[in-house]
């Protein structure tokens, strides 16, 4: 992954990817896993995460910290690491994940990468489970979280603490990182047209599911 700015943090832990029933906050056990061991970690962030109301590296007010939660189908055992802004570039298309601003509940696309584009900057917050929330700021100064559903749609919605559809595991692959949605167990995917959606995992075979 390539972080925006001069961040050098890189955290990696071993995790098992769940594909059946997810572990609920009530303590119910997961029904099963794939048995595939993957490396889960962080793309990168600022050495010291800005707090609520602090000014971020690009002049935008940093989002409030997301509540940590242990209710997740992905598990990791690593101490919390610093949060920060990142960009995500698709390994197959070379386009960057971008928030389309100005909508009440926004769309996301993959578009040509520009370091000056604020809508391609995503603020990652690491949860206790090792998963992440990804937030972006629109042209009205509102923060939105990357979200998805079981039908395979990817979009942004108002951030909700504990919403597993807004939690993502970062899984290291040789060609980049997979962003795995915790609730749907599907990977963030894209195509040459710049559409962004989620799909079933294809591992190392599908570079459209790999992000840098």
- Give the domain ranges of the chain: 12-51+75-209
Instruction: Count the neighbouring beta carbons within 10 Å of the beta carbon of residue 5.
Output: 18
User: For the chain, what is the largest distance between any 2 Cα atoms, rounded to a whole number of angstroms?
Assistant: 45
- DSSP, collapsed to helix, strand or coil, labels residue 203 as helix
Among residues 104, 105, 171, 106, which one has the least CA distance to residue 132?
171
- DSSP, collapsed to helix, strand or coil, labels residue 118 as helix
Return d(Cα 197, Cα 133) in angstroms, integer: 17
Torsion angles phi and psi, residue 125, rounded to 5:
-120, 120
The number of CA neighbours under 13 Å toward the Cβ of 36 is 14
What pLDDT is attached to residue 82?
Answer: 60
Among residues 61, 19, 24, 43, which one has the least CA distance to residue 130?
43
Give the mean model confidence (pLDDT) for residues 118-134: 96
Interacting residues of 79 by C-beta distance below 8 A, sequence separation 6+: none
* pTM (predicted TM-score): 0.69
What pLDDT is attached to residue 176?
Answer: 92
Handedness of CA 145, 148, 149, 154 (dihedral sign): positive
Return d(Cα 129, Cα 209) in angstroms, integer: 22
Give me the architecture of the 12-51+75-209 domain, per CATH. Trefoil (2.80)
pLDDT in tens, 161-210: 999 999 999 999 988 999 999 999 999 999 999 999 999 989 888 999 99
Concatenated DSSP letters of 44-69: ---SS---TT-B-TTSSBPPPPPPP-
Query: pLDDT at residue 37 above 70?
Result: no
Percentage above 70 pLDDT, the chain = 59
pLDDT in tens, 67-89: 443 344 443 323 334 699 999 99
């Amino acid at each position: 992954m390539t972080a925006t700015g001069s961040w050098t943090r890189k955290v990696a832990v071993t995790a098992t990817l769940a594909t059946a029933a997810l572990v609920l906050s009530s303590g119910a056990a997961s029904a099963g896993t794939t048995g595939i061991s993957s490396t889960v970690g962080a793309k990168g962030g600022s050495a010291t995460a800005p707090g609520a109301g602090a000014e971020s590296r690009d002049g935008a007010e940093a989002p409030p910290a997301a509540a940590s939660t242990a209710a997740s189908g992905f598990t990791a055992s690593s101490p919390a690491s610093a949060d920060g802004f990142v960009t995500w570039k698709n390994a197959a298309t070379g386009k960057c994940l971008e928030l389309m601003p100005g909508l009440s509940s926004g769309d996301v696309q993959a578009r040509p990468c520009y370091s000056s584009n604020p809508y391609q900057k995503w603020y990652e917050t690491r949860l206790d489970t090792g998963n992440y929330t990804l937030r972006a700021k629109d042209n009205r100064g509102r923060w939105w979280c990357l979200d998805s559903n079981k039908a395979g749609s990817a979009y942004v919605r108002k951030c909700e603490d504990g919403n597993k559809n807004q939690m993502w595991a970062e899984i290291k692959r040789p060609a980049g990182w997979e962003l795995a949605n915790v609730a749907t167990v599907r990977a963030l995917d894209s195509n040459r047209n710049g559409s962004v959606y989620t799909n079933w995992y294809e591992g190392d075979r599908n570079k459209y599911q790999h992000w840098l």
